[in-house]
Amino acid sequence: MTVGAGRSRPGIGDYLLWSVIALFIIVPLGCFLAYGFFSVVDNAIVYRPTVGNFAELLSNPSYRATFLRTIRMAFEVSAINLVLGYATAYFIWLRPPGMRNFLVIALAIPLLMSYIIKIYAMRGVLGTNGLLNSALMALGIVDEPVSALLFNLTAVRITLSVVLLPFMVLPIYIALERIPASVLHAASDLGANELQTFTGIILPLSLPGGIVGAMFTFVLASGDFLAPELVGGIEGFTYGRLIFSQFGLAFNWPLGAALSILLMCVALGVIFVARRLGNPRWQR
Protein backbone atom coordinates (compact mmCIF):
# COMPACT_ATOMS: atom_id res chain seq x y z
CA MET A 1 0.00 0.00 0.00
CA THR A 2 1.22 3.47 -0.76
CA VAL A 3 -0.79 5.54 1.62
CA GLY A 4 2.18 7.07 3.36
CA ALA A 5 4.41 7.26 0.33
CA GLY A 6 1.97 9.08 -1.88
CA ARG A 7 2.78 12.64 -0.95
CA SER A 8 3.83 13.65 -4.44
CA ARG A 9 1.81 11.11 -6.40
CA PRO A 10 -1.52 10.04 -4.91
CA GLY A 11 -1.72 6.27 -4.64
CA ILE A 12 -4.70 4.00 -4.69
CA GLY A 13 -5.00 4.35 -0.92
CA ASP A 14 -5.61 8.07 -1.21
CA TYR A 15 -8.35 7.56 -3.74
CA LEU A 16 -9.93 4.95 -1.52
CA LEU A 17 -9.88 7.24 1.51
CA TRP A 18 -11.25 10.13 -0.49
CA SER A 19 -14.05 7.98 -1.81
CA VAL A 20 -14.89 6.89 1.73
CA ILE A 21 -14.99 10.51 2.86
CA ALA A 22 -17.11 11.47 -0.12
CA LEU A 23 -19.47 8.54 0.22
CA PHE A 24 -20.05 8.67 3.96
CA ILE A 25 -19.67 12.36 4.78
CA ILE A 26 -19.86 14.75 1.86
CA VAL A 27 -22.64 13.13 -0.17
CA PRO A 28 -25.00 12.58 2.81
CA LEU A 29 -24.37 16.11 4.04
CA GLY A 30 -25.09 17.45 0.55
CA CYS A 31 -28.32 15.42 0.36
CA PHE A 32 -29.37 16.72 3.75
CA LEU A 33 -28.75 20.33 2.73
CA ALA A 34 -30.55 19.82 -0.57
CA TYR A 35 -33.65 18.31 1.09
CA GLY A 36 -34.10 21.53 3.03
CA PHE A 37 -34.96 23.20 -0.27
CA PHE A 38 -37.46 20.60 -1.49
CA SER A 39 -41.13 20.38 -0.57
CA VAL A 40 -43.87 17.84 0.07
CA VAL A 41 -47.12 17.66 -1.85
CA ASP A 42 -49.60 14.86 -1.16
CA ASN A 43 -47.07 12.77 0.77
CA ALA A 44 -44.59 12.84 -2.09
CA ILE A 45 -41.38 14.85 -2.07
CA VAL A 46 -41.17 17.40 -4.88
CA TYR A 47 -37.56 17.84 -5.99
CA ARG A 48 -37.87 21.43 -7.15
CA PRO A 49 -35.84 24.01 -5.20
CA THR A 50 -37.86 26.38 -3.03
CA VAL A 51 -37.22 28.46 0.06
CA GLY A 52 -40.74 27.76 1.30
CA ASN A 53 -39.54 25.70 4.26
CA PHE A 54 -37.37 28.50 5.55
CA ALA A 55 -40.16 31.03 5.05
CA GLU A 56 -42.51 28.84 7.07
CA LEU A 57 -39.87 28.28 9.72
CA LEU A 58 -39.33 32.00 10.22
CA SER A 59 -42.97 33.04 9.99
CA ASN A 60 -44.57 30.36 12.18
CA PRO A 61 -44.57 31.73 15.74
CA SER A 62 -44.83 28.30 17.36
CA TYR A 63 -41.63 27.13 15.63
CA ARG A 64 -39.86 30.29 16.72
CA ALA A 65 -41.02 29.95 20.31
CA THR A 66 -40.00 26.28 20.42
CA PHE A 67 -36.59 27.16 18.99
CA LEU A 68 -35.93 29.95 21.51
CA ARG A 69 -37.16 27.85 24.42
CA THR A 70 -34.86 25.01 23.42
CA ILE A 71 -31.81 27.22 22.96
CA ARG A 72 -32.44 28.71 26.37
CA MET A 73 -32.82 25.27 27.94
CA ALA A 74 -29.58 24.07 26.32
CA PHE A 75 -27.80 27.18 27.54
CA GLU A 76 -29.03 26.55 31.08
CA VAL A 77 -27.90 22.93 30.95
CA SER A 78 -24.45 24.08 29.80
CA ALA A 79 -24.23 26.65 32.59
CA ILE A 80 -25.30 24.17 35.28
CA ASN A 81 -22.86 21.61 33.91
CA LEU A 82 -20.00 24.09 33.72
CA VAL A 83 -20.26 24.70 37.45
CA LEU A 84 -20.89 21.06 38.40
CA GLY A 85 -18.36 19.76 35.90
CA TYR A 86 -15.63 22.14 36.93
CA ALA A 87 -16.07 21.31 40.61
CA THR A 88 -16.02 17.58 39.82
CA ALA A 89 -12.97 17.78 37.57
CA TYR A 90 -11.09 19.92 40.09
CA PHE A 91 -11.93 17.50 42.88
CA ILE A 92 -10.66 14.56 40.83
CA TRP A 93 -7.49 16.42 39.85
CA LEU A 94 -6.60 16.96 43.51
CA ARG A 95 -6.79 13.22 44.35
CA PRO A 96 -3.70 10.99 44.38
CA PRO A 97 -2.86 9.52 40.92
CA GLY A 98 -4.36 6.04 41.48
CA MET A 99 -7.64 7.40 42.79
CA ARG A 100 -7.66 9.94 39.97
CA ASN A 101 -7.53 7.29 37.26
CA PHE A 102 -10.20 5.28 38.99
CA LEU A 103 -12.53 8.27 39.19
CA VAL A 104 -11.98 9.27 35.56
CA ILE A 105 -12.78 5.75 34.39
CA ALA A 106 -15.82 5.58 36.65
CA LEU A 107 -17.00 8.84 35.15
CA ALA A 108 -16.47 7.65 31.59
CA ILE A 109 -18.23 4.28 32.02
CA PRO A 110 -21.75 5.72 31.67
CA LEU A 111 -20.74 6.97 28.22
CA LEU A 112 -20.54 3.35 27.12
CA MET A 113 -24.11 2.63 28.16
CA SER A 114 -27.23 3.07 26.09
CA TYR A 115 -28.55 6.59 26.19
CA ILE A 116 -32.18 5.53 26.45
CA ILE A 117 -31.50 3.33 29.48
CA LYS A 118 -29.98 6.30 31.29
CA ILE A 119 -33.06 8.40 30.59
CA TYR A 120 -35.39 5.67 31.82
CA ALA A 121 -33.21 5.37 34.91
CA MET A 122 -33.61 9.08 35.51
CA ARG A 123 -37.36 8.64 35.24
CA GLY A 124 -37.10 6.03 37.95
CA VAL A 125 -35.11 8.44 40.09
CA LEU A 126 -37.35 11.48 39.60
CA GLY A 127 -40.84 9.90 39.61
CA THR A 128 -43.39 10.29 42.39
CA ASN A 129 -42.63 6.75 43.50
CA GLY A 130 -38.98 7.28 42.61
CA LEU A 131 -35.69 7.07 44.39
CA LEU A 132 -35.33 10.78 45.03
CA ASN A 133 -38.81 11.14 46.50
CA SER A 134 -38.36 8.05 48.67
CA ALA A 135 -35.11 9.50 49.95
CA LEU A 136 -36.64 12.92 50.63
CA MET A 137 -39.52 11.31 52.51
CA ALA A 138 -37.26 8.97 54.48
CA LEU A 139 -35.18 11.95 55.54
CA GLY A 140 -38.33 13.78 56.56
CA ILE A 141 -37.64 16.69 54.23
CA VAL A 142 -41.04 16.35 52.58
CA ASP A 143 -44.25 14.72 53.83
CA GLU A 144 -45.62 13.57 50.52
CA PRO A 145 -43.99 12.86 47.14
CA VAL A 146 -43.02 15.88 45.07
CA SER A 147 -44.54 15.51 41.61
CA ALA A 148 -42.77 18.62 40.29
CA LEU A 149 -39.59 16.63 39.64
CA LEU A 150 -40.81 14.76 36.60
CA PHE A 151 -42.61 15.54 33.33
CA ASN A 152 -41.61 19.16 33.00
CA LEU A 153 -38.70 21.23 31.73
CA THR A 154 -36.96 20.98 35.10
CA ALA A 155 -36.84 17.22 34.66
CA VAL A 156 -35.33 17.72 31.20
CA ARG A 157 -32.69 20.06 32.62
CA ILE A 158 -31.82 17.64 35.43
CA THR A 159 -31.73 14.62 33.15
CA LEU A 160 -29.60 16.28 30.47
CA SER A 161 -27.26 17.72 33.10
CA VAL A 162 -26.70 14.28 34.62
CA VAL A 163 -26.38 12.45 31.32
CA LEU A 164 -24.09 15.04 29.71
CA LEU A 165 -21.90 15.68 32.76
CA PRO A 166 -19.01 13.43 31.55
CA PHE A 167 -18.75 15.56 28.40
CA MET A 168 -18.04 18.53 30.66
CA VAL A 169 -15.78 16.89 33.25
CA LEU A 170 -13.42 15.12 30.87
CA PRO A 171 -12.19 18.14 28.83
CA ILE A 172 -11.79 20.20 32.01
CA TYR A 173 -9.88 17.40 33.67
CA ILE A 174 -7.60 17.05 30.64
CA ALA A 175 -6.94 20.80 30.71
CA LEU A 176 -6.09 20.61 34.42
CA GLU A 177 -3.78 17.66 33.79
CA ARG A 178 -1.90 19.65 31.19
CA ILE A 179 -0.93 22.43 33.59
CA PRO A 180 2.81 21.89 34.15
CA ALA A 181 3.70 21.21 37.79
CA SER A 182 6.64 23.61 37.39
CA VAL A 183 4.24 26.52 36.87
CA LEU A 184 2.46 25.73 40.12
CA HIS A 185 5.79 25.35 41.95
CA ALA A 186 6.94 28.69 40.56
CA ALA A 187 3.75 30.31 41.81
CA SER A 188 4.22 29.00 45.33
CA ASP A 189 7.95 29.88 45.27
CA LEU A 190 6.98 33.42 44.42
CA GLY A 191 4.66 33.47 47.41
CA ALA A 192 1.24 33.17 45.79
CA ASN A 193 -1.44 31.87 48.14
CA GLU A 194 -3.91 29.15 47.11
CA LEU A 195 -6.59 31.54 45.96
CA GLN A 196 -4.11 33.56 43.90
CA THR A 197 -2.76 30.41 42.30
CA PHE A 198 -6.26 29.27 41.47
CA THR A 199 -7.58 32.53 40.03
CA GLY A 200 -4.30 33.55 38.38
CA ILE A 201 -3.09 30.26 36.96
CA ILE A 202 -5.31 27.22 37.32
CA LEU A 203 -8.60 28.78 36.28
CA PRO A 204 -7.31 30.62 33.18
CA LEU A 205 -5.37 27.56 32.03
CA SER A 206 -8.25 25.11 32.55
CA LEU A 207 -11.14 27.28 31.41
CA PRO A 208 -10.58 26.40 27.74
CA GLY A 209 -11.50 22.83 28.72
CA GLY A 210 -14.67 24.19 30.27
CA ILE A 211 -15.48 26.03 27.08
CA VAL A 212 -15.03 22.87 25.05
CA GLY A 213 -17.26 21.03 27.53
CA ALA A 214 -19.88 23.78 27.41
CA MET A 215 -19.83 23.55 23.63
CA PHE A 216 -20.38 19.76 23.75
CA THR A 217 -23.22 19.98 26.24
CA PHE A 218 -24.90 22.87 24.45
CA VAL A 219 -24.84 21.19 21.07
CA LEU A 220 -25.96 17.83 22.43
CA ALA A 221 -28.70 19.33 24.61
CA SER A 222 -30.11 21.60 21.91
CA GLY A 223 -30.63 18.75 19.46
CA ASP A 224 -31.79 16.09 21.89
CA PHE A 225 -35.31 14.72 21.51
CA LEU A 226 -35.35 11.58 23.64
CA ALA A 227 -34.96 13.13 27.08
CA PRO A 228 -37.59 15.82 26.39
CA GLU A 229 -39.99 13.17 25.12
CA LEU A 230 -39.51 10.74 27.98
CA VAL A 231 -39.24 13.06 30.98
CA GLY A 232 -40.43 16.41 29.61
CA GLY A 233 -44.18 15.84 29.66
CA ILE A 234 -46.23 18.63 28.12
CA GLU A 235 -43.42 21.18 28.42
CA GLY A 236 -40.98 18.87 26.71
CA PHE A 237 -41.85 19.75 23.14
CA THR A 238 -38.40 20.94 22.18
CA TYR A 239 -36.84 21.80 18.86
CA GLY A 240 -35.34 18.30 18.57
CA ARG A 241 -38.80 16.80 18.91
CA LEU A 242 -40.14 19.22 16.35
CA ILE A 243 -37.51 17.93 13.92
CA PHE A 244 -38.23 14.34 14.89
CA SER A 245 -41.95 14.82 14.33
CA GLN A 246 -41.31 16.02 10.78
CA PHE A 247 -39.41 12.84 9.99
CA GLY A 248 -41.09 10.31 12.25
CA LEU A 249 -44.72 11.43 12.24
CA ALA A 250 -45.59 14.01 9.62
CA PHE A 251 -43.48 12.68 6.76
CA ASN A 252 -42.25 16.14 5.92
CA TRP A 253 -38.55 15.43 5.43
CA PRO A 254 -37.85 18.73 3.65
CA LEU A 255 -39.24 20.82 6.51
CA GLY A 256 -37.38 18.57 8.95
CA ALA A 257 -34.17 19.12 7.01
CA ALA A 258 -34.73 22.87 6.98
CA LEU A 259 -35.32 22.88 10.73
CA SER A 260 -32.13 20.83 11.16
CA ILE A 261 -30.13 23.23 9.00
CA LEU A 262 -31.05 26.07 11.34
CA LEU A 263 -29.97 24.00 14.33
CA MET A 264 -26.76 23.06 12.56
CA CYS A 265 -25.98 26.73 11.90
CA VAL A 266 -26.45 27.48 15.59
CA ALA A 267 -24.21 24.56 16.52
CA LEU A 268 -21.53 25.69 14.07
CA GLY A 269 -21.77 29.21 15.46
CA VAL A 270 -21.29 27.90 18.99
CA ILE A 271 -18.33 25.79 17.91
CA PHE A 272 -16.80 28.82 16.16
CA VAL A 273 -17.18 31.01 19.25
CA ALA A 274 -15.88 28.21 21.48
CA ARG A 275 -12.80 27.86 19.30
CA ARG A 276 -12.13 31.56 19.63
CA LEU A 277 -12.64 31.58 23.38
CA GLY A 278 -11.03 28.22 24.00
CA ASN A 279 -7.68 29.04 22.44
CA PRO A 280 -5.48 29.70 25.46
CA ARG A 281 -2.83 32.38 25.28
CA TRP A 282 0.06 29.97 25.73
CA GLN A 283 -1.01 27.98 22.72
CA ARG A 284 -1.26 30.88 20.31
Which residues are near another protein by CB under 8 A?
42-44, 62-63, 65-66, 123-124, 127-130, 145, 147, 150-151, 229, 232-234, 236-237, 241-242, 245, 247-251, 253
150 vs 165, beta carbon nearer another protein? 150
Measured from the CB atom, is 236 or 278 closer to another protein? 236
Integer CA distances (angstroms), 63 to 119, 121, 133, 160, in order:
25, 30, 35, 22
What letter does residue 113 receive in the DSSP assignment? S
In terms of CB distance, is 157 or 241 closer to another protein? 241
User: Rounded to the nearest whole angstrom, what is the least distance from the CB of residue 122 to another protein in the complex?
Assistant: 11
What size, in residues, is the chain?
284
Compute the least distance from the CB of residue 235 to another protein, in Å.
9
Could you tell me the smallest distance in angstroms from the CB atom of residue 264 to another protein? 20
Alpha carbons 113 and 151: distance in angstroms, whole number? 23
Q: If DSSP codes are grouped into helix, strand and coil, which group holds residue 40?
A: strand
Report DSSP letters for 201-265, one per residue: IIHHHHHHHHHHHHHHHHHHHHH--HHHHHH-GGGG--HHHHHHHHHHTS--HHHHHHHHHHHHH
**Residue with smaller CB distance to another protein, 82 or 160:** 160
CB of 18 to another protein, least distance (A): 23
124 vs 200 by CB, closer to another protein:
124
Cβ 100 to another protein shortest distance, Å? 37
With contact defined as beta carbons under 8 Å apart, do 152 and 170 qualify? no
Q: Which is nearer to another protein, 176 or 242 (CB)?
A: 242
Closest CA to 13 of 1, 29, 30, 25: 1
Q: How far is the CB of 273 from another protein (least distance, A)?
A: 28
In 3D space, the residue among 165, 163, 132, 175 whose CA is nearest the CA of residue 280 turns out to be 175
- Output the smallest distance, CB 119 to another protein, in A: 12
Q: Give the E-state strand segments of the chain in sequence order.
A: 39-41, 44-46
Question: Which residue's CB is nearer to another protein, number 127 or number 210?
Answer: 127
Which backbone phi and psi does 129 adopt, to 5 degrees?
-100, 20
The amino acid occupying position 214 is A
